[in-house]
Amino acid sequence: MGGHGVHVEANTRNIQETDEEMLFKIQRIDTIKHNPNHFHLVHSDPTNWSAILGGAPALAFGAAGAFFSYSYYAAQARPFNFYANNFRVFGRLFFGATLGLAFGYSQFGDRQRLHNAWVAERLRRRYPESIELNTTDLWRLKGVKAPHTFYRWV
């Protein structure tokens, strides 16, 4: 099963699922400890951000929020100078896009994957040795405590 030659007693009574299917379901920390690399997402990758936020539907909600917020501002006929007008337009667009994206995330966001990636990132930072783990068939390790020595509190 991989991972520094540590023997792990597998639990074969678990529901069988592939490692890829387990990515999209929230997992316990003990399960993620067996292979944090599998659940880790690169935080600077825009496709990961887009997938976690909810993809095109969430971004469409952000654009719609920006549009409605700007249209509400534009309906007011107040004379402002160039700087004040641009500052307020940008503020309205940012405010509307933020609210729309937050609503889109609440509807379409992938909170399970975000949780798994966050736990994996914290494990990889706290226990750098865990980066070398390459365990497969993680469904057998649900509910099994990770016996690796670097996870123990001494």
Comparing 43 with 152, the larger pLDDT belongs to: 43
**Each residue of 66-95: pLDDT tens digit?**
999 999 988 887 778 889 889 999 999 999
**Each residue of 97-129: pLDDT tens digit?**
999 999 999 999 999 999 999 999 999 999 988
- The domain segmentation of the chain, as residue ranges, is 1-43+116-154, 55-108
Backbone angles phi and psi of 144, in degrees to 5? -105, 125
For 39, the 3-state DSSP assignment is: helix
CA atoms of 84 and 144, how far apart (whole Å) = 60
Q: In this structure, what DSSP letter does residue 97 have?
A: H
CB 10 within 8 A of CB 141: yes
Q: What is the pTM of this model?
A: 0.77
Indicate whether 3 pLDDT > 60. Answer: no
